[in-house]
């Protein structure tokens, strides 16, 4: 059994921020047609990727807060259930603690006001190794900046940028090389959250796709 625990407000916000990067192509690996919730000792990562764009909403513990964000592993919410899950979480207007539990092929979302259950992906469905393409550090100030924070971004990606970073006053941009991804990250000064968007505008893809990003990097260095 896998359990993830935290506030309804931040988990809901995280799911909504990353949904723009969920793949709509059901013929691809199921992990890309999902939102990943990864619970650990440091907090919760909420992640989605379609292979060429990746969004992460990292909720971290606050030392001064009594609220803890934790879990015991990964839960993949299938794309076809996201609308139902978001509607359920939005129906609760007051602050609430949310517990998400997966046991075999069922995922349960539970608050004091009610519970819903949705069907999970088949056993063995995995998610791309997203930590390979983003820095290990949680804080933007710790990200190595190789070039000035200027870039040319195709209009097609602007909607994703707006969805992931809506409400924030500024972002930190890291663009390290022609074939490397564009990394945009920002820390929310009002919440214990770091938002990250990775865009691969050139040929190539994230690990597990047609042309893994790691192979692109190695080819450049050769």
pLDDT at residue 203 in the model = 44
**Number of folded domains that form the chain:** 1
Measured between alpha carbons, how far is 146 from 182 in angstroms, rounded to an integer? 12
Question: Where are any strands of DSSP class E within 149-188?
Answer: 172-175, 182-188
pLDDT digits (tens, 9 = 90+) for 152-194: 556 667 788 888 888 776 566 555 444 456 778 787 877 888 8
pLDDT at residue 76 in the model = 96
pLDDT at residue 37 in the model = 96
Question: Where are any strands of DSSP class E within the chain?
Answer: 2-7, 34-40, 43-49, 53-60, 70-71, 74-78, 97-103, 106-111, 114-119, 172-175, 182-188, 193-199
Question: CATH number, domain at 165?
Answer: 3.10.150.10
Higher local confidence (pLDDT), 38 or 148: 38
pLDDT digits (tens, 9 = 90+) for 27-61: 778 889 999 999 988 889 999 998 888 999 999 87
pLDDT over 50 at 146, yes or no = no
pLDDT over 90 at 2, yes or no = yes
Structural domain including 99 reads: 2-221
Higher local confidence (pLDDT), 51 or 145: 51
The model carries a pTM of 0.80
Lowest mean pLDDT segment, chosen from 131-135, 139-143, 156-160: 139-143
């Amino acid at each position: 059994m896998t359990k993830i625990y935290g506030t309804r407000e931040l988990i809901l916000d995280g799911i909504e921020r990353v949904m723009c990067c969920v793949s709509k192509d059901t013929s691809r690996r199921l992990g890309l047609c999902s939102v990943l919730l990864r619970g650990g000792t440091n907090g919760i990562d909420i992640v989605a990727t379609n292979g060429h764009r990746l969004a992460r909403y990292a909720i971290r513990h606050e030392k001064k807060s009594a609220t803890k964000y934790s879990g015991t592993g990964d839960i993949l919410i299938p794309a076809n259930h996201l609308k139902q899950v978001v509607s359920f979480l939005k129906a609760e207007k007051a602050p609430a603690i949310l517990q998400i539990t997966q046991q075999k092929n069922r995922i349960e979302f539970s608050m004091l006001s009610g519970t819903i259950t949705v069907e999970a992906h088949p056993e063995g469905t995995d998610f791309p190794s997203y930590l390979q393409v983003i820095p290990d550090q949680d804080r933007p100030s710790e990200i190595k900046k190789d070039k000035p924070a200027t870039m040319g971004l195709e209009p097609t990606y602007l909607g994703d940028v707006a969805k992931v970073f809506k409400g924030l006053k500024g972002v930190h941009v890291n663009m390290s090389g022609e074939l490397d991804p564009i990394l945009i990250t920002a820390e929310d000064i009002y919440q214990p959250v770091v938002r990250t968007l990775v865009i691969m505008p050139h040929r190539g893809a994230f690990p597990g796709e047609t042309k893994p990003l790691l192979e692109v990097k190695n080819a450049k260095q050769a």
